[in-house]
Structure 1
Amino acid sequence: MDPKQPKRIFGLILVVLVGLIGVSTPMQKIVAFPNELRLFTGQLKNVQYSVPVQAELTVDPEVLQVNGKAQSSLSVSLKEPLSLHSYQIGKTQMKVKLFGKIPFKTVKVDIVPDLKVVPGGQTIGVKVNSAGVLVVGHHQVVDEAGNKQSPGETAGLRLGDMITAINKVKVNDVKKLGELCEKYSSHKKPLTVTFLRNGKSMTTKLKPIYDVQEKEWRIGLYIRDSAAGVGTLTFYAPDQGVYGALGHVITDMDTGTPIVVGDGEILQASVTSINKSQTGDPGEKRAHFVKEKQILGNIERNTAFGIFGKMNEMPTHSFEEQAIPVAFAEDVKEGPAHILTVVNGQKVERFDIEVVHVAKQSSPATKGMVIKVTDERLINKTGGIVQGMSGSPIIQDGKLIGAVTHVFVNDPTSGYGCFIEWMLQDAGVLLHTNEAEGTDLAS
């Protein structure tokens, strides 16, 4: 008999066995396991394969230890949970060999600096000044011949366009635009209007019409330069001195256009009453600003995941004054959780919810999770989720996992939440793994 034949037979049996296992449900769990794991330094994470297979794992024990053992190679049962403990910032690989022989999977492991933030929940007043003057409507102007037209509309300006300059002079408020129009219109030459449309700078020629009755030059546009409202603070990062709030972009109420922030500020606010949510009619928090001269922070960015800026000190009325860990998007799971929010005055309270669905997101995207309010006390008070509650921090297993963003109109007890990871990126607190490799994914 050929001495190599037993080895060939064994190899064939092994291949067939792996093939059979490969189409089984347990093995599909392994195949579906991510090719990359991210942990914070000092984090202990359990990974469950639930497959009755022996395997050999190879790691760098100075960066990552498995099952509490400082070994570069160890034999484990994939039927039992694997305990992963990160020790220092760095990258390593966890190589998996089935039966100690067959290379099966290589998992990239990235250990990033530990991060903790103070969860919010406070109702805040928001004042935003845009980086220009927003076109929110057209109106007709009567010229000397009695004809009606809108000079702005004739010039091609649309709702949502943001005027940034007149004759190359910067404009960031309605008063300034009016002064420039009056100054240059007397020259009886068309104005050169610079504006932003979908993030792209454009120019057009606009010829104002003199209103004989009002004795003023008119451009036939309804315009706005600021917005104000209330929302909820999501987190404060004391080490970086920054905050995140709202969980969704601020848009102009008439055009639906995201507001390009010039500057702004957040203030303390107190809830005076609540209009309860009902099917087909989302409710809202009614609140007034408190101590308007006492600014909590500035507004530097308005993104798909909320507003962000500097905050110099710990916000008052915190439910939790101590910083807590945050969770990566892939660590959020379906099950019980709670939110922090205000339903009366300035007191932040804790309410129970259920995370009923988690979307798989490896890059920033809205609607990361579907949540449902289960706390009867909150439902009785608000009907579920109401406007002004957006930004309320979502906490699961002692970790900040996201923020409330939207309510379902047909079921106000349910709504969407975004992952905290994306908010932390936009705040500049957490950088995407690939950024260290030269790709900047943080907004």
Structure 2
Amino acid sequence: MDWGRKLAGMLLLVLFILTMANDKVQSYLQIPNEITTFESASSYIEEMLEGSGQVTVKKEKPASATVEVGGLPPKQTSVKKIPDLKVIPGGDSIGVKLQSDGVMIVGFHDVVDGKERFSPAKKAGLKPGDRIVEMNGNEIDKLEDVVHRLEEMNQERRLTMKIKRNTDLHEISVNLHQGKEGNVLGAYIRNAASGVGTLTFYEPEQGKFGSLGHVIADSDTKKPITVENGKIMRSSVTSIQRGTNGDPGEKQATLASDREELGEVTKNTSFGVFGKLDADKMDPHKPMPVAFAQEVKPGPAKMLTVIEDEKIEAFDIEIVQSMPQMQAASKGMVIKVKDEELLERTGGIIQGMSGSPIIQDGKIAGAVTHVFVNDSTSGYACHIEWMLEEAGIDTFAEERQGAA
């Protein structure tokens, strides 16, 4: 009896192994219970399901399909469709003007008081990058507000300031120096910044846009500018300072002759500058689907950018490496310029190309962000999906991750 049970067990085990190794059974087991797909890709459901083995698909209704593998019970798969995600690629040269939240301290200067040389602001504990938001209980929005508050103090020397340092609010008292021309704070301040970059994309239905691919920082403090309000304007490239290894080049650009404002800037983040475009300010272009991080692969691609006037051109590049990121990170790709014309005219990637959209296989894959200082032909790029999320565009991340 014992030998009989053991033999029967062994036969059942062999039968199980043979069954599991059967191509039909494997195809059946690999059929998912649910498929999440973009609407434009729904026609490929059958191809995906029929991938291997003797599988037939019967569409019963828009949200389901019955899959049959020869000799096995039918299996029903739920098909979940999500809207196609398309945006319009940019490439336009733009000028950016940002007004910071409060007035930023960018440096200090000394005053002479008897035998002592010092900066009253620095002595009180203020630091470059601090943003003055209040003086003696009065809100500070612009440079003129600071001048006015200092003038109205007359002979009073004690100034109470509220400043923002990163995200923290501090109250600091400063003993002003009384000079021949009035009270002296001993600090250099400003509340605006400007620059030139490239528009990456815009979404025509909501008017949302993204550009640059990296944060705008103050040129002196190197601190990110916290935006109170800002504008993007049409820009024209007048000349090119060619880049070389160790010396990145630069687009020389001016605001277009009409100085037309294209839209409002609302965010300045590590992935670029974002906001909303005014209706009908951009030339109409055909929307293009986006490639998510896991779709981007090493190989040929195109970069859209302007190197003369306002003409957008496509140049050959290679995606050398793409990290299939599951979380946002700014350096998602390594790229290399391959276009002989672009190499001749610019030396590769130069300042002002930041934000230039990257196109691969008919999809927007990302945006140029940085050039390698020691190799002007190469640089970093970020994946487009992180810029879309920063812009407030739904990328259906939960649905896509749930289907993975």
Q: If the TM-score is normalised by the length of the shorter chain, which range does it land in?
A: 0.7 to 0.9
How much has 1:368 moved relative to structure 2? 0.8
Q: Deviations over 1:231-283 (max 9, x none)?
A: 00111110111111111110011111010001111111111000011000000
Task: Give the corresponding residue for 1:252.
Answer: 218
Where in structure 2 are the equivalents of 1:394-413 lying within 5 Å?
394-413=358-377
Q: Which amino acid in the other structure matches residue 389 of structure 1?
A: M
Identity between Structure 1 and Structure 2 (%): 43
Determine the structure 2 residue equivalent to 1:381.
345
Match of 2:119 among 132, 145, 150: 150
Map of 2:300 onto structure 1: 336
Relative to structure 1, is the Cα distance of residues 122 and 61 closer, same or farther in structure 2, using a 3 angstrom cutoff? Answer: farther
Deviation at 1:207, TM superposition (A): 1.6
Give, in whole Å, the separation in 2 of the partners of 1:54 and 1:161.
66
**CA distance 1:4–1:278, change in 2 (3 Å):** same
Aligned-partner residue type, residue 393 of structure 1: P
**After the TM superposition, which residues 42-441 of structure 1 pair with which residues of structure 2 at under 5 Å, given as runs?**
42-43=40-41, 70-71=65-66, 73-75=67-69, 111-143=81-113, 145-184=114-153, 186-189=155-158, 191-212=159-180, 215-291=181-257, 293-316=259-282, 321-431=285-395, 433-434=397-398
| Separation (CA, whole Å) in 2 of partners of 1:57 and 1:220 | 79
User: C-alpha distance in 1, partners of 2:103/2:399?
Assistant: 35
Over 3 Å counting, the alpha-carbon distance change for 1:244 and 1:159 in structure 2 is same
Check the 8 A contact 2:87/2:204 in 1, yes or no: yes
In structure 1, how many angstroms separate the alpha carbons of the residues matched to 2:343 and 2:280? 30
Structure 1: which 5+ runs fail to align?
19-35, 77-99, 102-107, 438-443
7 and 276 in structure 1: CA distance in 2 versus 1, 3 angstrom threshold = same
CA distance in 2, matches of 1:119, 1:429: 15
CA distance in 1, matches of 2:132, 2:16: 72
1:218/1:303 CA distance change after superposition, 3 Å:
same
AA aligned to 2:212 is L
Q: Distance in 2 between matches of 1:175 and 1:372?
A: 47
Number of aligned residue pairs: 380
Quote how far apart the aligned CAs of 1:378 are.
0.5
Deviates more, 1:365-374 or 1:304-313: 304-313
More RCO (CA 8 Å, sep 6+): 2
1:8 paired with 2:6, answer: no
Q: Distance in 1 between the 2:153 and 2:79 partners?
A: 62
- The answer to whether the 8 Å contact 2:85/2:395 transfers is no
CA drift at 1:57: 12
SS in structure 2 opposite 1:299?
strand
User: Secondary structure of the equivalent of 1:330?
Assistant: helix
Deviation at 1:229, TM superposition (A): 1.2
Q: Which has the higher helix share?
A: 2
* 1:185–1:38 distance in 2 versus 1, CA, 3 Å: farther
The offset of 1:43, in angstroms, is 2.3
Q: CA deviation at 1:197?
A: 1.6
Distance 1:146 1:341, change over 3 A: same
Distance 2:54 2:106 in 1: 63
Structure 2: unaligned runs, 5 residues or longer: 23-33
Q: Shift in Å at residue 137 of structure 1?
A: 0.8
Alpha-carbon distance, 1:223 to partner = 1.1
User: For 2:194, what is the secondary structure of its paired residue?
Assistant: strand
Q: Distance in 2 between matches of 1:414 and 1:64?
A: 46
Could you tell me how far apart the structure 1 residues matched to 2:36 and 2:365 are? 15
Q: Which moved more, 1:230-239 or 1:108-117?
A: 108-117
Structure-1 separation of matches of 2:229 and 2:219: 18
Q: Deviations over 1:198-219 (max 9, x none)?
A: 222222111211113xx22111
Which of 1 and 2 has greater Rg? 2
| AA at the equivalent of 1:205 | S
Taking the aligned partners of 2:35 and 2:248, their CA distance within structure 1 comes to 39
Residues 404, 418 of structure 1: 8 Å contact kept: yes
Classify 1:13/1:186 alpha carbon distance in 2 versus 1 (closer, same or farther; 3 Å).
farther
Seen in structure 2, the aligned counterparts of structure 1 residues 53 and 283 have a Cα distance that, compared at 3 Å, is same
CA deviation after TM superposition for structure 1 residue 294, in Å = 2.1
Per-residue displacement from partner, 1:149-189 (whole Å, max 9, x unpaired)? 11111111111112211123221221111211222464333
Q: Please tell me the residue identity of whatever aligns with 2:194.
A: A
Residue pair 1:267, 1:292 contacting (<8 A) in 2 also? no
